[in-house]
Chains A and B, each alone.
Chain A
Amino acid sequence: MKYTLLLLFFFSQALAFAHSPAASKLQALNLKPLEQTQADRSDSSYLKLQDEAVDALTNAVAEAVKNPQDEILIDEIFRVSIVLLNTDPYQYAGEILVPLYQKQQNLFLKHLKKFSTKDAQRIKEAVKAAERTLRRGNG
């Protein structure tokens, strides 16, 4: 009995720390070159990194919609989104987050509280604008 409980404990711990492939992919991204203020935004390596981040974020959001209990994945999604929103004036990351916001609004807002007010506000603003544009247009 004692060993069974111990095994269950380790198993639950392992589950808690297990990352989904989408989260691992987001974690593996080195976004520092995007954050540099002096970065040349038309440079091919800059654009390639931005594209990689956009693709990884899109896949991660699709994964999070299916599995909203993966907290690490959602935290990573927000971390990468903030970097993309700060470096892309078109705010495309906001649009990528819309499916997650629409399906899991309460969870979405709850997770945002983990981030600074400024970052949370930025994400909220971008997602709401993107959702409204999709629904009611941009005119």
Chain B
Amino acid sequence: MVYFKSLINIMISFCLSWTPSWSQNVPELQEIVFSGNIFGRSEDSQGQLNFDRQNLSNITSVVPKGSEGTVVETRPLKKRGTYGLKIRLTKVAPGTKTKAVEGDEVWVYFSDVNPWLSFRNKEGMEIQDPEVDLLTIAKRNGNALIPPIQKTILQGPDPNEALVADKTKAQGDFCLHCEASSSALSPGENLRELINKNKTMAGYWSHNSKIMEYSEGSAVKKMISHSIRNKKKYSTGYCYRYVKRSLLASGLARSYPPGRYAKNAVKDLKAQGMVNLLEDSMYSKIIQNPSDAPKGAVIVYANDTKEPGDVQIKTDWGNEGTYLSDFDPQSKNSFLDSPKARRYAREGKPYRMIGVMIKP
């Protein structure tokens, strides 16, 4: 009798402690929207996926920007944070010549560092960190053999980044270095030419070779283009997250910077090797407002309240360009001109720039 009771106890405790891992997380992921033109691919005869940029044989169609679909299957790839997603197309965006039709099932490449897809839940709201759901679906399909452990810098080219023939030209008609690569000059000459061209726009900074090299360098271009490609129509409350992603994608950050609040970004980004120009008396007198900051600077804002602060990337010199984070402010105004900052200024708790970060 005693043995029987203990056996029952063991069975009950086993049942309580064991549940299939996939049943703990019900994925909220419902829909995917393509934020660029992406190659749809097929598996090979052995069921293997190949997203190599050199491999054109398995491309079945180009899925145009704005198309929508549902996730049928996910498969973690060898690089951490990257997945192959099998998507059933529910809508093919008009206006682009493509073989893709509604109902097609295609494999596409996804990287959390440089996403070309946005994920939505049942209510149509965007899922900011889809990795949990992608992994849950992969586990359900028995595909989660290589679990992502930690976010690290992803080395090597992104298959969604460029067409094979012209590595300067991205998929989605997004031309990253078209202007620089169109001439027959060497990269060094090209940079000098570009710097000369922008000297008039750069104003004071045109005399500072270190800052000019940073602002006109390829890393800043990559950071800005990443921000442009991933920006939303309006704020999602994840300004710092999107800036971190752009920094990581451009290589300006060595690893995904920790930290939740934008107002702590100065400390977080210094740990990544960036410097705050406002801490140098030579520059702090010159940078009186965001438009004075150099192109590509990461501007950090805070006030003397418990507010989380804000962070933005300056996309051009002076009053040209705009200030990007998770969204496009749709004007040339920085955060300091936003209704929120104006209200705090009226109440005597004004926001101010606490960091103008660059990586010389």
Contact = CB atoms under 8 A, between A and B. Distances in A.
A121 B123 CA distance: 8
Contacts, number: 87
Contacts of A65: none
Contacts of B339: 50-51, 54, 84, 88, 90, 92
Contacts of B123: 121, 124
Given A42-B331, A91-B237, A121-B123, 14 more contacts: A41-B331, A42-B337, A51-B339, A84-B339, A85-B234, A95-B340, A133-B238, A137-B260, A137-B261, A137-B262, A138-B237, A139-B241, A139-B260, A139-B262
**Which 7 pairs from chain A and chain B are nearest by CB?**
A137-B260, A129-B237, A139-B240, A133-B237, A137-B261, A92-B340, A90-B338
B342 A89 contact: no
Nearest to B244: A139
Interface in B101-127: 123-125
Most chain B CB neighbours (cut-off 10 Å) among A50, A84, A125: A125
Contacts of A8: none
Interface stretch (B39-47, B87-95, B279-287, B322-330): B322-330
A90 B241 contact: no
Interface string A12-43: 00000000000000000000000000000110
A54 B343 CA distance: 8
Nearest to B325: A138
A132 interface: yes
Interface of B: 123-125, 233-241, 244, 259-262, 308-311, 327-333, 335, 337-340, 342-343, 346
A51 B238 contact: no
Contacts of A88: 234, 338-339
Q: Chain A interface residue count: which class?
A: 20 to 34
A134 interface: yes
A133 B308 contact: yes
Contact of B240 (A51, A92, A125, A138): A138
Nearest to A128: B125
Nearest to A134: B308
A138 B328 CA distance: 16
Given A51-B346, A58-B343, A134-B308, A89 B124 contact: no
